[in-house]
Amino acid sequence: MAELGTTARAVIEGRNGDPFAYLGMHSVGGAQCVRVFLPWARRLWVVDAVTGEVAGELARLHPDGLWSATLGRRPRFRYRLRAEGGLGTVEFEDVYAFPPVLGDLDIHLLAEGTHLESWRVLGAHCREHEGAAGVSFAVWAPNAHRVSVVGDFSDWDGRRYPMRLRHAAGVWEVFLPGLGPGRSYKYEIVGADGALLPLKADPYAARAEPSPGTASRIVARSRHDWRDRAWLDERWRANERDAPISVYEVHPGSWRRVPEEGGRYLTYRELGEQLVPYVRDMGFTHLELMPITEHPFDGSWGYQPIGLFAPTSRFGTPDDFRAFVDSCHAAGIALWLDWVPGHFPTDPHGLARFDGTALYEHADPRQGFQRDWNTFIYNLGRREVANFLLSSARCWIDEFHVDGLRVDAVASMLYLDYSRPAGDWVPNEHGGRENLAAITFLRRMNELVFGIGRGATTAAEESTSWPMVSRPTYLGGLGFGFKWNMGWMHDTLRYLSLDPIHRKYHHNDLTFGLLYAFHENFILPLSHDEVVHGKRSLIAKMPGDRWQRFANLRAYYGFMWTHPGKKLLFMGGELAQEREWNHDRSLDWHLLGDPLHRGVQQAVRDLNRLYRALPALHQLDTEPEGFQWIEAGDSEQSTLSYLRRGRDPRDVAVIVCNFTPVPRAGFLIGVPHGGRWRERFNSDALEYGGSGLGNAGMVEALAHPVHGQVHALSLVLPPLATLILTPDAAGA
């Protein structure tokens, strides 16, 4: 060791941050010198790559595996290494003979924070470089002293493949010739203070090891043959404000499992074969998956992701996921993904203190730590971090053809004091509580999706009264396509959980939402959050005896599907699942053997089909012209009646809800047309498990002014039921 220089010792000890300046071929005093670090070799030669002749044998400078050879005065030449080891003799390219992979433009855009396709250059990519097949690795770690790629191909030894730093962008890169897909890898990082960090997964990995493994996986170039061009050309129609949008929210790990194989998950391809036809049969227009971005902990349901570019390996490969997307589109189903740009977990192999500093997160815990979830908060004001997230959004749309992103926990991003006591947050530059960096980021994200997404859309889970969430950025809005209506959900569930005898005192819970129903492009969500953590399932929230609970739920669905706003129902809601959702178990499909459960499923199926078929129920969902009260004030009898309209004056529907178990004969409501009106839906129908009370499918309007209308319907109003009626064309 004494005769070795400082750089040589740094290589052996894994402290060298500039390996390309020492390893590989270099001119020293006019001669060519080749240096190699290869611990497993017994003997090592330099071979002329053109002639195949041995140019010289390397001498071992240190027992740990540092080798060197001086080849005399000759021009620089293309060479290979031939090594003799315990398993024989092999010949291979020298990693440190290759120039950089990333071009100057990539480096410039990465440094600028404007490389919106950064996943194409960062991460691990199978490619040909300088005539050799292999894998390029690139990772952003500007404050690291040394970064190495490690894996089973290097015996997880960080001294083997230290990377080259591209100083302008803080990006480290290396090309490993001869490496191929399927291998596991991580990054070994030495911080600026010289401390060795826990091995890090690749933030840009295209795939990860199956849990509980935490390494990243090298993925071959996609071989999927997309067949959805016609869908992509027209998908804007599925996501328009005037389109029927009925979303089935799914946790893919617990929708259905395979009990005969130990309760394993369905794969992406099996989900394409089973889930997609089910969604289509049920009449839903959209499928929303809870986060499938790679995440270490099953119990986070995906909402604490680490791999924002990787479909979770729990269900298969990236190409398996592409096949699933294709199957959705072939069935006419739009696919939305839950996406989480607000925070990330503290797992040591993840983004936390990635290069030994607060790189992705804020350094100040008053800005950078979310105590509600024990997670770190992205520093959205840092251009490289914003670019990382924007690239992720674009990747899912470009690479995987998804049709929309539902952004989780937007309120936690918008407010600096979100869930924080006084003194535990940092005001913005104007002294306010608004997170200006997050506002800028969300607007950029939405502009990106709508600008390049060919009809893709976005939705915000935003639980406050922040204005103009779903209005365009050029008008001062955040630019989302839609916003979840959390207020409607809370109010109506509170109302439905009451015994009917008390509902007349809380009538406002049903009507209040119409005061703001058109301020945003709303989605009415009955999501997973409402059926976990002791909140009980939807059917369990309903009061009364067993028959009444099911009648309440069917009436509620009828109200929801006819209320202004798009629809979202979490899986199991259509089955009237009795127990709370458990991410470790399949839905209780056996319940469909019970007529009451099967009846709820059929009611949801019929509501979806009617919602799609009647423009009056969806075309003006976000416009005040699409809704008109008939009678909103009948709190004493706990009834509601209202009109829904389409753009064509002939497209009209009448909805009547009775939220008491008391049937009402001769119930009079005003309608805008004479003639016959068809009873298109009755949640009390026998096939749904109801009592069968109703209007025999048809009612003749009376010339009787009431409720400001010139005609009236005298209805039999079933108990705990919703009716939908439309003018009968044949009798008009």
DSSP code at position 67? E
DSSP code at position 200? B
Distance, in Å, from the CA atom of 530 to the CA atom of 536, rounded to the nearest integer, reads 8
Listed residue (314, 316, 311, 296) closest to 254, CA to CA: 314
What backbone torsions phi and psi does residue 603 show, to the nearest 5 degrees? -65, -45
Token pair recorded at residue 727: 């003018």
Angle at 74 between CA 68 and CA 78, to 5 degrees: 70
Chain-centre distance of CA 692, in angstroms? Answer: 42
Listed residue (558, 559, 604) closest to 577, CA to CA: 604
Report the DSSP beta bridge partners of residue 334: 286
DSSP code at position 574? G
Distance, in Å, from the CA atom of 405 to the CA atom of 391, rounded to the nearest integer, reads 13
Distance, in Å, from the CA atom of 625 to the CA atom of 617, rounded to the nearest integer, reads 12
Distance, in Å, from the CA atom of 596 to the CA atom of 615, rounded to the nearest integer, reads 30
What backbone torsions phi and psi does residue 82 show, to the nearest 5 degrees? -120, 125
In the Cβ-directed half-sphere of 4, how many Cα atoms lie within 13 Å? Answer: 19
Q: Which residues are the active-site residues?
A: 408, 461
Token pair recorded at residue 125: 């990519």
Q: How far apart are the first and last CA of the chain?
A: 100
Q: Coil, strand or helix: which one is 400?
A: coil
Chain-centre distance of CA 4, in angstroms? Answer: 52
Listed residue (233, 206, 228) closest to 218, CA to CA: 206
Distance, in Å, from the CA atom of 171 to the CA atom of 254, rounded to the nearest integer, reads 39
H helices of 21-165, in order, are 104-112
Distance, in Å, from the CA atom of 360 to the CA atom of 343, rounded to the nearest integer, reads 10
Q: List all residues 6 or more positions away from 292 whose beta carbon is below 8 Å from its beta carbon.
A: 252, 302, 311, 312, 315, 321, 337
Strands 566-570 and 522-526: parallel
